Amino acid sequence: MDKLARTDEMKTRIDGFRPLSHHMLRQIKEYLRIGFTYASNALEGNSLTETETKIVIEDGITIGGEPLRDHYEAIGHSEAYDLLLNTAKQKEITENQIKELHRVFFYRIDAKQAGKYRRQKVLISGTDFIPPAPDLIPGLMTNFVGRIPELRSTRHPIEFAAILHKELVTIHPFFDGNGRVGQD
């Protein structure tokens, strides 16, 4: 059985447990918020452990000796997670929503760049890939967002998500935080 069919089978099994109680849904949401925030930020070099990420997000306590930026990333990612859950209910993805996700995630780290397309060239360490020139970004993003309805209707949800992520990070519209906005 291919992986997408196996995934569909597992989703059907999970759906058999529905409806879930409000309490259980809240627990799952919080569990995923912490795990997703930790994993996403760890990929980018954030030094907080999963437990420390939970303490920062849920208790608002800073972790001694850890960079302030790592705390801001955890809080910003958690807030972007909430925004994403609300945005997902709309069944539409717009440029403004993408910019707002970036702004919410990044405004504590760099308020001037948060939610705005980059205006300078960037280099990505560890790769030969060169992102598009800044003047091309608005048009590329318009085309990207314009293709979303067709991709949604013709692709399996997992393929759809993977394509969106790949295309967004290839355009690399923001100075920093592209991968995390793409994951959200």
Q: Looking up tokens 């960037």, which residue turns up?
A: 122
Catalytic residue among 71, 77, 102, 172: 172
Residue 172: active-site member: yes
- Asked if 168 and 181 count as a contact pair (C-beta separation under 8 A), the reply is yes
Which contiguous run of DSSP H or E holds residue 18?
none
Residue among 154, 149, 76, 78 nearest 113 (CA): 76
Q: What are phi and psi of 57, to 5 degrees?
A: -75, -50
Catalytically active residues are 172
